[in-house]
Structure 1
């Protein structure tokens, strides 16, 4: 009975979510663009005052052409995308987008925890940047990232 009460308690966080990553190709561009716009437009406007469609499209297409993006799947549903760069000195999370209806379900947390585990095994830090207007900073801090540098638009964070 006590276990059942604990499971229902809001003090217990959900367990990490099972996910699968699959390489995205230029044929996934429209999904990636719609995902980026749906999840980032309000934060980009808050940071820079406008959404520049041409710049965003160009950056996303460059990433797809460089095989930088992987689609995130949960129960065979495509729920997001991530771009990660693995350097000799660190692991860099370049982009992480989760569809709004799948946010707050531990999908991003699960992915980040796996990257932290990978980084620890190779004795590297994990680095990322987040827009100063984005609430994602709260997630990253909860997972142990610290701010190492700031600009008016961004926080640069690291997990050591």
Structure 2
């Protein structure tokens, strides 16, 4: 059975969904590398959340993730990308990113992201053409190969 994956514009009502998914998915990896400070994480999330940059990942009409992409005159930055833990490993992340890569490549700008060093999502990014280009402590900086 074929599934239908869509990226939908986020609304203000998606804030809580995105926050809860962020906290759920980031806590285990962050705790391995540093002390988890819930209040600090929530405050950081509130600062970074930009509704106009967020798309909600829906599979067969069910919201299962979200991503935030910031475009500037000089680059494209994948700031956040989260898929619900019970949906991870099913190819959703791969399909979403594969659908975005042609558009990003056509912009002829560097496509950048950071990922926690212990986050298995790094393998996904590498499979899709990203390489580690820097190290910022607990995170790797990655760039899409052109």
Q: Which category of TM-score, normalised to the shorter sequence, fits these structures? A: 0.7 to 0.9
Q: CA RMSD in A?
A: 1.9
State the TM-score, normalized to the length of structure 2.
0.87
| Cα pair 1:116 1:126 within 8 Å, conserved | no
Structure 2 counterpart of 1:139: 124
> 2:68 pairs with 74, 83, 91, which one?
83
| Cα pair 2:117 2:138 within 8 Å, conserved | yes
Tell me which protein shows more strand as a share of its residues.
Answer: 2
1:90-111, Cα deviation, whole Å (9 max, x unpaired): 2110000100111112211122
Q: Distance in 1 between matches of 2:99 and 2:112?
A: 14
Unaligned stretches of 5+ residues in structure 2: none
Within 5 A, what are the aligned runs for 1:101-120? 101-120=86-105
Q: Distance in 2 between matches of 1:27 and 1:134?
A: 28
Q: Distance in 1 between matches of 2:98 and 2:4?
A: 12
Structure 1 counterpart of 2:82: 97
SS of 2:67 mapped into structure 1: strand
Q: Which one has a bigger Cα radius of gyration?
A: 1
Deviation beyond 3 Å, 4+ runs, structure 1: 62-66
Structure 1 counterpart of 2:59: 74
> 1:149 pairs with 134, 137, 141, which one?
134
Q: Distance in 1 between matches of 2:79 and 2:107?
A: 19
